[in-house]
Structure 1
């Protein structure tokens, strides 16, 4: 960190491994307080940022707000109450009420700027009430905030501005303290859910962010198991034979091997939902049209004997890609999903790590960190890769936070707009880690 006075101070609540910290430090800020209840993530935070990390931000039994005075409050408050992967109980769930702890700090400290982050679903149809409560609560505390969700993803931001090839839609709640007189005035969202400028997300090339195999420590750890290789081999051959037969457009619907029935004997069971009836009909038509090719393929792979039910399903979302080798794969409960190697789906805190078609392996923790905008010098010592993947899946994308914060500062007054004019447009151009670690080269910054 620089020895000069910081441009502003900030607190990092529900901090994870420090994505907000990285972005706001690059803007000239100094973190004066961080909290993270997950001990493993807190250790990574402490290691990289060389500062203590508190547990709960405001214990309900403690009447005194321990968070010090600050200029900017950031928080990636818990998403489980709103996530589609959870029960979606919103503020009825205990973790959902942690938003009120944030409000308690805002009432006590009155920071000038607030930037909160959560999953896309927090502003979805099942949580209209919760969203309205969040907006109303901030306005009642004197903060001006848009009632329209500000949704953004790193793949919408060009690499020159810190974007990354990852589709990761998140809601950002950008609030500026204006006092009671103006807090109820409506404002536009700080960012829009569309590409910045004339950027075309289809020009991303994931390969430019991958490590050369010779640089991967423990390369064998990212190879697929024997069964996984067999699954990929079978479906790669499936695509290869269809392409060789002149099939220019592969099915866009899920292919279900167990539902391959010739049209002459196809009969829909009574009472099926419309979506399933549609898929079964399409699978029958597809099988009937290519029966000779498909039967020969199945015979060569023993009818996919031993494949779990979910691996007997195949979802081709790679459009005109000619082979599976040039794509990326995800082993999902719904089947093996294949996409072009432009950008990856959102990193998640569970399994489903992206698999490269060639070289056939999973992406490494270094590559996953690159997808979140962390430099190669960011370290995850003393823990297994699965913990690192989970922490990165829970992290904010640093380039997006940097971009959104700059957009908020531009309209927050002269003090803040000057910070924007004094800092580079991309977080990639700023070295803010307190350590000097240059053991690995940085990822390319452009496509």
Structure 2
């Protein structure tokens, strides 16, 4: 890789450096980064050589601009509520939000490409107003940006292209500076969509989670407690009993809740009263009715199972008396990926994982009989094994990875965007350098990142 920077980038709300990983692998050089969390900043410093610790609300204001000129602006900005006061639309309505500080930088420097990322909900109906404010303010600054959200997940991309077995839908806002309207003759479509399939990859059948996991059943700090093993053993027995009792028919898709089964006359009367009550929400009536019917059809097997495992004792708190089966024809619970949730034990096929989250719902890998390790979680976000988290607690690492952007998703989104706007980018020296760096880069960032971190 050339030692000369292909382009300059800034990394806002930098976290531990998901954007930095992708943009550095493309040959870019960071000229400014900022992150308010001290622990995340320390991890960033350990891996990228400088600390981003700071506050964008101090560095990009009406009167202060500490962000230098750059070619690519990347930001996984938090989605704060936008003010809806007043009848005006546009700039005034972004004040008081972190997006306003991004807009200050855009107005000061007009970088060639913008690459913004946010949670899937930003493109939902509850945030239509905020979405329109972002699109309209960027267009007012001369940017070509699609009004249709670009929603993308790393599980849509094959591993050869930097994809990962993690369903992590995020909204990407990609924009190209086009003050002269070079691209006005063709409407800007989103660079990617939820239906994008690179190289015809089928995520429903072609992923192997094992490729990203350690072979060992043991990983320090990832062990299951005795109680957790008991809960899984009990429901694993339940799953196998139901396969036999139902003659190979899969479990129903609605949550199975032991406390909603009429196991005694008193409970049956109580549940019947709830079902018949107009005060019970329709969704709950439906839920109770289905559980009632399921129990009636399998009463003898369920009663013996519940007694054998003590399901209605203190050993099973209410949230562990629920099973959300989303694993289709998987024959055993221990063959699944699981999450302990307030709504119950959720089980999925061990193909790809739900999104890593910044809370304590770390995936349990049934075949490994333990939780996903921090290193495995880092792999699922696209970081090479040489990426270090220092000596911080594992909980901090899980939280940072759950808050982060997926490297392979960034890589493929930027490639798609540059390909879409190539005709516009060709008109400026900065744009031509970005084209060369991005479109001539390998299909995947993985090789370059392994090389980069192995040399440190």
Q: TM-score, normalised by structure 1?
A: 0.90
Measure the CA separation in 1 of the matches of 2:21 and 2:160: 17
Correspondence for 2:130: 130
> Residues 58 and 109 (structure 1 numbering): CA distance in 2 closer, same or farther, change over 3 Å?
farther
Residues 147 and 186, structure 1, Cα contact 8 Å, conserved in 2: no
Measure the CA separation in 1 of the matches of 2:169 and 2:156: 10
Root mean square deviation of aligned Cα? 2.2
- Give 3-state SS (helix, strand or coil) of 1:66's partner: coil
Per-residue CA deviation, residues 388-418 of structure 1 (Å, 9 max, x unaligned), is 0000001100000011111111223331332
- Give 3-state SS (helix, strand or coil) of 1:211's partner: coil
Correspondence for 1:327 among 323, 329, 336: 336
Correspondence for 1:106: 106
- Residue 70 of structure 1 deviates from its aligned partner by 0.5
Measure the CA separation in 2 of the matches of 1:61 and 1:242: 62
Aligned residues: 426
- Give 3-state SS (helix, strand or coil) of 2:300's partner: helix
Correspondence for 1:198: 200
Residues 69 and 111, structure 2, Cα contact 8 Å, conserved in 1: yes
Matches within 5 A, 1:52-63: 52-59=51-58, 63=63
- Give 3-state SS (helix, strand or coil) of 1:403's partner: helix
Correspondence for 1:255: 256
Matches within 5 A, 1:138-287: 138-179=138-179, 181=181, 186-194=187-195, 195-202=197-204, 203-213=206-216, 219-245=219-245, 246-261=247-262, 267=272, 268-270=275-277, 271-287=279-295
- Give 3-state SS (helix, strand or coil) of 2:200's partner: coil
Measure the CA separation in 1 of the matches of 2:52 and 2:6: 22
Per-residue CA deviation, residues 232-285 of structure 1 (Å, 9 max, x unaligned), is 111011011112332422111000101112798662240211111111111011
Correspondence for 2:442 among 410, 424, 429: 424
Moved more, 275-284 or 421-430: 421-430
Correspondence for 1:442: none
Is 1:298–2:301 an aligned residue pair?
Answer: no
Correspondence for 1:339 among 348, 361, 364: 348
Unaligned stretches of 5+ in structure 1? Answer: 82-88, 439-447
Moved more, 197-206 or 2-11: 2-11
Correspondence for 1:71: 71
Unaligned stretches of 5+ in structure 2? Answer: 85-92, 427-431
Correspondence for 2:376: 367
Moved more, 278-287 or 47-56: 47-56
- Give 3-state SS (helix, strand or coil) of 1:315's partner: strand
Residues 153 and 167, structure 2, Cα contact 8 Å, conserved in 1: yes
Moved more, 62-71 or 127-136: 62-71
- Give 3-state SS (helix, strand or coil) of 2:192's partner: coil
> Residues 304 and 228 (structure 1 numbering): CA distance in 2 closer, same or farther, change over 3 Å?
farther
Residues 58 and 66, structure 1, Cα contact 8 Å, conserved in 2: no
